[in-house]
Amino acid sequence: MSIKVAVAARNVGKIYGAGAAAVNALGDVSIDIQQGEFFTLLGPSGCGKTTLLRCIAGFETPTSGTILLSGRDITHTPPSARPVNTVFQSYALFPHLTVADNVGFGLKMQGKSRSEVASTVARVLDLVKLEAFADRLPAQMSGGQQQRVALARALAPAPEVLLLDEPLSALDLKLRKEMQSELKRLQTETGITFVFVTHDQEEALTMSNRIAVMSAGELLQVGTPRDIYDRPVNRFVADFIGETNFLVGEVDGTAVRIASGERLDVPLNGQTGRVTLAIRPEQIKIGTVPGGLAATVTDATYLGTDTHYALALSDGSALVARVQSRTGDDFAVGDTVGVTVDASAVQVLKE
Amino acid sequence: MSGPAASKRPRSNGATGWLLSAPALILLAIAATGPLFIVILYSFLEKGDYSGVRWILSGDAWFRVFFEKDIFDGTVSLADANLAIIWRSVKLSLATTIITFGLGLPTAWFIATRPATQRAFWLFLITIPFWTNLLIRTFAIMEVIRNQGLLNTFLLHYGVISEPIQILYTDTAVLIGMAYVYLPLMVLPLFAAIDRFDFKLIEAGYDLYATRIKVLRRVILPIIRPGIVAGCILVFIPSLGAYVTPRVLGGGKNMMIGNFIELQFGQGQNWPLGAALSTMLLIIVLGSLVVYMRVSAREEPHG
């Protein structure tokens, strides 16, 4: 096993301002990003994900801790000396330079020869399918094209790590979907480590090899999309990634007694006291009574492939179930149904 | 029937528009070109006995701008005195432009990087000198740099110098005065350009391996170029025609072209020469504008 670490953060903290006005943007973040992976920093705005990215890029110096790039300490290295490039949220293309000159800027600054710059620019423009636009100015291009130029510009110097700061947030939905697969393709083709910042959980799930979920300057969970979705470590992660039902209950022997008084057999992992059960809507099965928890259908929404049922348990606590639509076994508002869940599909979270 | 009428209406509107604005346009045309025309005309006439002109066509004034005829043997030589004054004017104006740019860029940068709420205050400070009469401001500068003035008194008191430095009535004094007077004209267009500048581009530059100097040269300066061009033109042109500042701070002997022209209309009693010199000044300004535009056009990206 020789998985090499491309970027490592060791106990990185960042405090803006001082005294009473100090803002703790990053708590004490330690993270290992492996070489060649598509790594996503995911969290709501203000969670510190962009601050961490800017610390890796060199635009911010951490208040504490160190940043390592392939094992070298680069905490105090200026951005111009880091083999790391950034794709900015606003693209930040040089408006006075043509597309080709934008893409060649980094290479020129590295002192590459004129012919080498020209051939690399041509190759990278080809990679992002913008060969025909080399002589345009950024202002003469659409948002999606500018996005590709920004990508090409950051990829051209062949950085060890490519940092992407919410690069797709300015694009419309269709273009965003397109660029998602485009980014994934570029990452696979170039083999460069991508560190991608987003607040869009769906984007994170579809694109990443691994995801780090952040909140309030803290790292909550790092794992593959499946890990994060199926095994969220706490209520925040479960709630942030996808839709989740939460049921509060108390551990009672080997089962959990929920508010409605019913007992559910779930994997407890030695937890005791008050717990929260997280259940994904698609894991809930609905059948006719008796069988499972008794619930009343309060709303049914037919969505083609799926039907969403809003359910109320006997104590009034709400559940959402997503059931694949099949003819014949749909329920109507007011029906009393029996709710069952596979024990393995229930996450027991500490309250 | 409504089709042709509708298509005709904009054109008749345009014609009416021109007709309605004709009085203003004619007045503007006369006011703008009339005096200029008179100046050019006078430069080709003969000088009057005491002042004014005689209505006889003559190239004498233009001849005297460049050459002088010895009153005894009639030999013709270059008019060194005139050319020296023109050259000093160009030199001092260029120096003023460079100094105001050197001081104005950091100033404008400072203002543009303040929080939005504070910018108005700093710009307000920059414009305060405009509220005071130019003559009074120039006398204030005089008070600072004269031999018994603030600067010399201060330096003498602290033993930096043992006797006053003669600044007043030198080119340096004129330069200090002009740089002070024209600095706001440099700062304001620079500020306008920097204010529109996207500071993310600096990060992008650093990120792409550019050093600080290279970010300045390759990213910041090219993008704020319109502000630089505007500031330089706004400073260079009035500097070239400056009158009050060289008169007060330069004394009598360090004349600039503006003072020299005034002399011809006053004591010199040679209106045609004054008119020729004024036209000359105009040609220098136009020439430098053309050069500037050529240069900035050439360096534009070819895209």
Q: How far is CA B252 from the centre of its chain?
A: 21
Residues of B in contact with A104 (CB under 8 A): none
Residues of A in contact with B302 (CB under 8 A): 98, 135
Whether residue A223 is found in the same domain as residue A286: no
Which of A112-116, A290-294, B77-81, B97-101 has the weakest average pLDDT?
Answer: A290-294
Q: State the helix-helix crossing angle for B225-240 and B171-195, rounded to 10 degrees.
A: 150
Whether residue A165 is found in the same domain as residue A313: no
**What's the residue count for chain A?**
351
Return the domain boundaries, chain B. 2-77, 79-298
Q: Which domain holds residue A79?
A: 5-236
Residue that is last in its domain, among A236, A266, A287: A236
Whether residue A59 is found in the same domain as residue A191: yes
DSSP A291-351: SSEEEEEEEEEE-SSEEEEEEEETTS-EEEEEEE--TT----TT-EEEEEE-GGGEEEEE-
Give the mean pLDDT of A44-53: 92
| Partner-chain residue, chosen from A78, A96, A136, that has the shortest CB–CB distance to B206 | A78
**Which CATH number fits the domain that encloses residue A344?**
2.40.50.140
Residue that is last in its domain, among A209, A236, A263: A236
Does B198 sit within 8 Å of A109, measured CB to CB?
no
By C-alpha distance, the chain A residue nearest B215 is: A109
- Position B5 scores a pLDDT of 45
Q: Tell whether the torsion through CA atoms of B291, B292, B294 and B299 is positive or negative.
A: positive
Q: In whole angstroms, how far apart are CA A308 and each of A290, A297, A331? A: 21, 10, 11
- Position B298 scores a pLDDT of 60
Whether the predicted pLDDT of A190 surpasses 80: yes
By C-alpha distance, the chain A residue nearest B211 is: A80
Does A59 sit within 8 Å of B206, measured CB to CB?
yes
Return the closest-CA partner of residue B187 out of B125, B101, B120.
B101
**C-alpha dihedral, A75 to A77 to A78 to A84, nearest 10°:** -80
% of chain B with per-residue pLDDT over 70: 93
Neighbours of B124 (CB within 10 A): 9
Does B207 sit within 8 Å of A80, measured CB to CB?
yes
Domain B79-298, CATH 3.90.180.10 — does that match? no
Whether residue A100 is found in the same domain as residue A209: yes
φ, ψ for residue B114 (rounded to 5)?
Answer: -75, 160
Mind listing the pLDDT tens digit for each residue in B6-34?
Answer: 444 555 567 888 889 999 999 999 999 99
Whether residue A17 is found in the same domain as residue A94: yes
> Using CA atoms, how far apart are residues A104 and A154, in angstroms rounded to an integer?
10
Q: Tell me which amino acid residue B291 is.
A: V
Whether residue A329 is found in the same domain as residue A203: no
Mind listing the pLDDT tens digit for each residue in A143-180?
Answer: 889 999 999 999 999 999 999 999 988 888 888 888 89
> Using CA atoms, how far apart are residues B247 and B258, in angstroms rounded to an integer?
9
Whether residue A23 is found in the same domain as residue A113: yes
Residues of B in contact with A154 (CB under 8 A): 207-208
**3-class SS of residue A256:** strand
Which of A214-223, A285-294, B249-258 has the weakest average pLDDT?
Answer: A285-294
Does B218 sit within 8 Å of A101, measured CB to CB?
no
CB of B289 within 8 Å of any CB in chain A? no
> Using CA atoms, how far apart are residues A299 and A247, in angstroms rounded to an integer?
19
Whether residue A64 is found in the same domain as residue A184: yes
Neighbours of B120 (CB within 10 A): 10
| Peptide bond between residue A167 and the one before it cis (omega within 30 degrees of 0) | no
CA distance A279 to chain B (A): 43
In angstroms, the first-to-last Cα distance of chain A is 37
CA distance B199 to chain A (A): 9
Whether residue A257 is found in the same domain as residue A227: no
Where do runs of H (alpha helix) occur along chain A?
Answer: 49-57, 99-109, 114-127, 143-155, 173-190, 201-207, 225-230, 235-240
Give the mean pLDDT of B184-205: 95
DSSP B132-178: S-HHHHHHHHHHHHSTTSHHHHHHHHTTS-SS----TTSHHHHHHHH
Mind listing the pLDDT tens digit for each residue in B128-160?
Answer: 888 889 899 999 999 999 988 899 999 999 988
Q: Which of residues 220-239 of B touch A (CB under 8 A)?
A: 222-223, 225
Q: Tell me which amino acid residue A268 is.
A: L
pLDDT band, residue A1 (cuts 50/70/90): very low
Does B198 sit within 8 Å of A94, measured CB to CB?
no
> Using CA atoms, how far apart are residues B66 and B279, in angstroms rounded to an integer?
13
> Using CA atoms, how far apart are residues B21 and A198, in angstroms rounded to an integer?
58
CB of B214 within 8 Å of any CB in chain A? yes
| Partner-chain residue, chosen from B209, B211, B302, that has the shortest CB–CB distance to A106 | B209
% of chain A with per-residue pLDDT over 90: 54
pLDDT band, residue A58 (cuts 50/70/90): very high
Mind listing the pLDDT tens digit for each residue in A232-282?
Answer: 888 899 989 888 889 888 888 778 888 877 878 787 777 778 888 889 998
Identify residues of A whose CB sits under 8 angstroms from chain B CBs.
57-59, 78-81, 84-86, 88, 90, 92-98, 101, 105-106, 109-110, 135-137, 153-154, 157
Give the mean pLDDT of A209-224: 94
Whether residue A122 is found in the same domain as residue A261: no
> Using CA atoms, how far apart are residues B58 and A240, in angstroms rounded to an integer?
90
Q: Which of A2-6, A135-139, A174-178, B266-270 is modeled with the greatest confidence?
A: A135-139
**Average pLDDT of the residues of chain A:** 89
> Using CA atoms, how far apart are residues A217 and A152, in angstroms rounded to an integer?
31
DSSP B190-251: HHHHHHT--THHHHHHHHTT--HHHIIIIIIHHHTHHHHHHHHHHHHHHHHT--HHHHHHST
Return the closest-CA partner of residue A80 out of B111, B31, B209, B21.
B209
Residue A167 belongs to what H/E stretch? Answer: none
- Position B73 scores a pLDDT of 81
- Position B301 scores a pLDDT of 47
Question: For chain A, how many structural domains are there in total?
Answer: 2
Mind listing the pLDDT tens digit for each residue in A63-99?
Answer: 999 999 999 999 999 999 999 999 999 999 999 999 9
CA distance A218 to chain B (A): 26
By C-alpha distance, the chain B residue nearest A135 is: B303
**Which CATH number fits the domain that encloses residue A75?**
3.40.50.300
- Position A153 scores a pLDDT of 96
Mind listing the pLDDT tens digit for each residue in B23-75?
Answer: 999 999 999 999 999 999 999 999 888 878 889 898 888 998 888 887 788 88
Residue A58 belongs to what H/E stretch? Answer: none
CB of B203 within 8 Å of any CB in chain A? yes
CB of B218 within 8 Å of any CB in chain A? yes
Sheet holding A336-341, edge to edge: A284-288, A336-341, A293-302, A306-313, A318-324
Residue B3 belongs to what H/E stretch? Answer: helix B2-42
Give the mean pLDDT of A216-229: 93
Residue that is last in its domain, among A236, A260, A286: A236
CB of B210 within 8 Å of any CB in chain A? yes
Does A95 sit within 8 Å of B223, measured CB to CB?
yes
Whether residue A222 is found in the same domain as residue A277: no
pLDDT band, residue B4 (cuts 50/70/90): very low
- Position B292 scores a pLDDT of 80
The strand pair at A274-279 and A161-165 is best described as unpaired
CB of B197 within 8 Å of any CB in chain A? no
Whether residue A209 is found in the same domain as residue A263: no
- Position B303 scores a pLDDT of 37
The burial of A144, by beta-carbon neighbours within 10 Å (0-12 exposed, 13-18 middle, 19 or more buried), is given as middle
